[in-house]
Amino acid sequence: MDIIKYLQRINSNSLTGNKLEDLRNLITQHLYTVPFENLDVVNKVPIKLDLENIYKKIVMNHRGGFCYEINGLFNWLLNNLGYDVKMISTTFSNGKGGWYRANTHLANIVTIDGIDYLVDVGGGDLVRSPLPLSGTVNEDISGKYRIQRTDGVYYELQKYANDEWSTHYRFSTAPRKYDFFTDVCEFNQTSPESKFTQQTITTLANATGRVTISDQYLIITENGKKSKEEYATADFDHILSTHFNMQLNR
């Protein structure tokens, strides 16, 4: 595993030494170059929590992955760049005042100058910058985000939409080891209750929005406006190459 090759993969070839500014740039470049995708799940290619294999997949083979792969590998990069970083687990809101299965998502917390930031480059359409746990609002092309402390244990990642704040997921700051996610990684590859086994998803951010494959649809979001069109199955590989700079080894 090579830090320089990883940085080249995400088109981030120079670091300034300013930890926070460098982190912002690393997040941006990661989101612009490494798709969030579940194609191995759909094609029943087993995913193991093995960073060397994940490095080969994402860095050498120009693929993406889901949270355990992307955020797990990003944790390795940040550690090797000298960041104070730890893995955490999060639980998604069901949008009805309750929660889905607990601790199914892997994210990171980075501490810089005594300030904790949520960092999540493996969650699809989420905040695109280090988000302080203090409640500061961050805004980018995808929306407004904040973190709210709800009790003595949990924080909630919230997004502002339709004139209100809604919770995306909650988390504690308890550090997790990589193998903590072994069972939920298996669950999200095999269970009919997992959305990843029920639909094809590939999505990649860019400066004006994002490009997404959702089952048989290509969705382009640009400056808040969406276009959605059905594509032919025969065009799938071409779409992957054109919009995501990605090829599948078949």
Tens of pLDDT along 14-43?
899 999 999 999 999 999 999 999 999 999
| DSSP assignments along 7-55, one per residue | HHHTT-----S-HHHHHHHHHHHHHHHS-EE-HHHHTT----S-HHHHH
pLDDT tens figures, 51-78: 999 999 999 999 999 999 999 999 999 9
Q: Are 140 and 208 in contact (CB under 8 A)?
A: no
* 3-class secondary structure, 62: coil
Phi and psi at 4, nearest 5°, equal -60, -45
Give me the mean pLDDT over the 113-119 stretch: 98
Domain ranges in the chain are 3-244
3-21 tens-digit pLDDT: 999 999 999 988 999 999 9
Please say whether the beta carbons of 55 and 177 come within 8 A: no
Alpha helices in 81-218 (DSSP H): 182-190
Phi, psi of 13 (to 5 degrees): -105, 0
Q: Which of 135, 145, 134 is nearest to 27 (CA)?
A: 145
How do strand 164-171 and strand 36-37 relate by DSSP bridges? unpaired
Mean pLDDT, range 181-188, rounded to an integer: 98
Q: State the average pLDDT for the chain.
A: 96
Q: pLDDT tens across 204-234, in order?
A: 999 999 999 999 999 999 998 999 999 999 9
Quick one: pLDDT at residue 250? Answer: 59
- The CATH number of 3-244 is 3.30.2140.20
